[in-house]
Structure 1
Amino acid sequence: MQDVAREAGVSPQTVSRVANGSDAVRPETRRRVQEAMEKLGYRPNYAARALKHGRFRDVGVVLFNMTNFGNIRILNGICAAANDNGYAITTLTIGQGRERTLSEAVNRMKQLPVDGMIVVLEQRIADFHDFQPPKDLPVVLITEAAADHCPTIDADQYGCSTAIVDYLLSKGHKTVYHIAGPSSSRAAESRARGWRDALSQLGLRIPPTYVGDWEADSGYQAGLSLARDPECTAVYAANDQMAYGAIMGLRAAGRRVPQDVSVIGVDNSLVGMVPRLDLTTMRMKFDTIGHEAFSMVMRQCEGDRVPVGVKTVIPCELVERGSVAEPPQVAILSGAQPIPSS
């Protein structure tokens, strides 16, 4: 800093103000200081800054899956919010080969220069209920279940399903079939529970559940099976990839979508990937979740209290396209020939 000050012809305090982004520096002076920093290869010492100010202005983000669409969008929201507030983000991925616990995630993150951390927790984890966050490292969980020990936030997984069932029933369908996500997923479990409860509360028949793995091929196989059931007129898949696969499977087996079978998904993840996308879906506001999660951890880093034990719920939004319609007026008799696809 002394070298930069001499090179730019300013005081060390002015160099400090420029390095910290202060507005109390004239533009011409700021330019001279920045040119001197570049010439001398100066970088702020973040360890020293943390000792002086008590913070690194960096938040850690732990993910157990970097390929999941929702996780990527959440991370995008976190990064955007961090950038807006002058923070950096440090990411840490804990894969299948390690013990997947919150304690292990915190222990690894505490070795890094971060002020707080966000855990994107989509799967079940062994120590969720027993975990106690460290007093010197605020933790926010993005997860379906509320926690008594950390602030939590997530999309309305349960309410998303009840809204989908209500929407399909309003079109005249007598019941709704479900293609669920993997049993290891908390989100998939809540979506299946919401679907089941919505039908049960109305006294409607609950069809067998088809369990997929979030990928389109599992939806395709479910679609082939569902095409053989003449009573199936409405299908709710727990994500858009499986919903799209189900449409392909139904059509391959001779059932028309939406004339014979309506299909709806969740997450709105195929926009920009599938041309002329016609899939009705329930959009999850993943970027908003990431933005709010960052706000929750930043407030704690800066000394505020954030309530625990009550989950912040981000509502979903129905996106109507062309894969849902009223059921056929004439019931398909068991054993009838499949209707040719259009």
Structure 2
Amino acid sequence: MQDVAREAGVSPQTVSRVANGGAAVRPETRRRVEDAMRRLGYRPNYAARALKHGRFKDIGVVMFHMTSFGNARILDGIVSAAAADDYSVTIQIMRSGPERTLQAAVERMKQQPVDGVIVVLEEMIADFNDFVPPKGLPVVLVTERVADHCPTVDADQYGCSIAAVDYLLSKGHRTVYHVAGPSQSHAAQSRVRGWRDALEQMGATVPPVLMGDWEADSGYQAGVVLAHTPDCTAVYASNDQMAYGVIQGLQSAGKRVPEDVSVVGVDDSLVGMVPRLQLTTMRMKFEDIGRKAFAMVRDQCEGRQVPVGVKTVVPAELVERESVRDLTA
């Protein structure tokens, strides 16, 4: 900073104001300082800045996987919100084996220069109830479960299923079959509960669950089975990939969609991937979840209170296309 000040013919305080984005610098002086910074290869020392201001302006994000549609969109929401507030993001993947715990993941992230941590808990984890956030490190969990120790935010997985089943029943279907996601997934289990409760509340028969793995092939296998199930006129799949597979399986066995069987998915992840997309789905607002998670951890980093023991829920949105037949018409 002293070198830049000498090169630009200004005080070190002026260099500091330019480096920190201060407004009290004349445009001509700012340009002179920035030119000097470029010539000398100057860049801010973030460790020194953190010592001075008490913050790194960096948020850690821990995930099980980065490639799944929901996680990628949540991460996009976090990064976009962070960039808008001049924060950076440090990403780590949850380790496997004995260190696959919430406590270990947060403690590992604590070793990085971060002000707070967001953990995207898409899978069940053993120490959820025993987890204690490190002192002075705000933690936000993206999970449908309520935590006593830190704020949580997630999509309304349970309510999403209620809405999907109610929609299909309102179209005159007597019951709804369900193709579920993997058992270790929080979202999949919540969607199963919502599906079952919605049927029971309406006095409809609850058929056996068909298990899938989020992939289209598992949906295809379920679709072939359901094509030979006489009372199956409606299917609710736990994500769009499996729903698309269900449609392909039904059609391969001679069933028409929606004339013979109606199909609804979840997440609206096939837009731009499948031409002439006809699948009705429950759109999950993953980017909103990411933005809310960032806002919650940022507020804590900046000294504002965020309630714990309370879950912030982002509702899903029904997107009607052409994969559902109205039997009442």
Pair in the same fold by TM > 0.5: yes
Shift of 1:327: 4.0
The offset of 1:7, in angstroms, is: 1.2
Q: Comparing 132-141 with 31-40, which one deviates more in the overlay?
A: 31-40
Contact 1:259 1:327 in 2 (8 A): no
Structural mapping, 1:137-286, within 5 Å: 137-286=137-286
In structure 1, what residue type is equivalent to 2:283?
A: R
Determine if contact 2:171/2:328 at 8 Å carries over to the other structure.
no
How far is the alpha carbon of 1:98 from its aligned partner? 6.0
CA spacing shift, 1:92–1:31, aligned 2, 3 Å: same
Moved more, 32-41 or 132-141: 32-41
Which residues in structure 2 correspond to 1:93-112 (within 5 Å)? 93-96=93-96, 99-112=99-112
Q: Tell me the equivalent position of 2:309.
A: 309
- Residue 50 of structure 2 is aligned to residue 47 of structure 1: no
- Tell me the SS of whatever aligns to 1:295: helix
Q: What are the Cα deviations for residues 115-153 of structure 1, in whole angstroms up to 9, with x where unaligned? A: 001001110001000001012100000001111101000
| Structure 2: distance between partners of 1:14 and 1:29 | 9
Q: Distance in 2 between matches of 1:315 and 1:163?
A: 10
Deviation of 1:97 (Å): 5.2
- What is the aligned partner in structure 1 of residue 296 from structure 2? 296
| Distance in 1 (alpha carbons) for counterparts of 2:316 and 2:127 | 29
SS in structure 1 of the partner of residue 99 of structure 2: coil
Which amino acid in structure 2 is aligned with residue 88 of structure 1? Answer: S
Evaluate the alpha carbon distance shift between residue 103 and residue 38 of structure 1 in structure 2; reply closer, same or farther with a 3 A threshold: same
Deviation of residue 36 (structure 1)? 1.2
Indicate the residue corresponding to 1:136 in structure 2.
136
Q: What is the aligned residue count?
A: 329
Tell me by how many angstroms 1:328 deviates: 9.5
State the secondary structure of the residue aligned to 2:59: strand
Q: How far does residue 40 in structure 1 lie from its aligned partner after superposition?
A: 0.8
Secondary structure in 2 matching 1:282: strand
Q: What is the letter of the counterpart of residue 194 of structure 1? A: G
Q: Provide the TM-score with structure 1 as the length reference.
A: 0.94
Q: Are positions 1:68 and 2:68 aligned together?
A: yes
Aligned-partner Cα distance in 1 for 2:258–2:99: 45
Distance apart, 1:293 and its partner CA: 0.5
Once the two structures are superposed, the pairs formed by residues 84-99 of structure 1 within 5 Å of their partners are: 84-96=84-96, 99=99
In 2, the alpha carbon distance for the partners of 1:98 and 1:219 equals 33
Distance in 1, matches of 2:19 and 2:281, equals 46
SS of 1:154 mapped into structure 2: strand
Q: Which residue of 2 aligns with 1:115?
A: 115
Q: Contact 1:82/1:88 (CA < 8 Å) preserved in 2?
A: yes
Structure 1 residues 16 and 98 mapped into 2: Cα distance closer, same or farther (>3 Å)? farther
Which consecutive residues of structure 1, in runs of 5 or more, have no partner in the other structure? Answer: 330-342
> C-alpha deviations, 1:305-340, integer Å up to 9, x for none?
1101110001111111111112499xxxxxxxxxxx
Between the two proteins, what is the percent identity of the paired residues? 73
Q: Is the contact made by 1:268 and 1:283 (CA closer than 8 Å) also made in structure 2?
A: yes
Counterparts of 1:79 and 1:234, CA distance in 2: 38
Partner amino acid, structure 2, of 1:7: E
Task: Give deviations 1:284-317, integer Å, cap 9, x for gaps.
Answer: 1101110011000000001111101110001111
**Aligned-partner Cα distance in 1 for 2:27–2:314:** 42
Tell me the distance in 2 between the aligned counterparts of 1:72 and 1:155: 14
Which residue identity lines up with residue 47 of structure 1 in the other structure?
Answer: A
Contact 2:124 2:184 (8 Å CA) reproduced = yes
For 2:43 and 2:24, locate their aligned partners in 1 and report how far apart those are by CA, in whole Å. Answer: 20
Single out whichever of 91-100 and 302-311 deviates more from structure 2.
Answer: 91-100
Question: Is contact 1:157–1:190 with CA below 8 Å preserved after alignment?
Answer: yes
What's the TM-score, normalizing by structure 2?
0.98
Secondary structure class of the residue paired with 2:254: coil
Contact persistence 2:178–2:209 (CA under 8 A): yes
Q: Is the 8 A contact 1:261 1:327 kept in 2?
A: no
Q: Helix, strand or coil: the match of 2:251?
A: helix
Query: Considering only aligned residues, what root-mean-square deviation do their CA atoms show, in Å?
Result: 1.2
CA distance in 1, matches of 2:297, 2:169: 40
Q: Is the 8 A contact 2:172 2:328 kept in 1?
A: no
Alpha-carbon offset, residue 18 of structure 1 = 1.3
Q: Distance in 2 between matches of 1:74 and 1:209?
A: 28
- State the secondary structure of the residue aligned to 1:292: helix
Match of 1:336 in 2: none
| 8 Å Cα contact 2:107/2:134 also seen in 1 | no
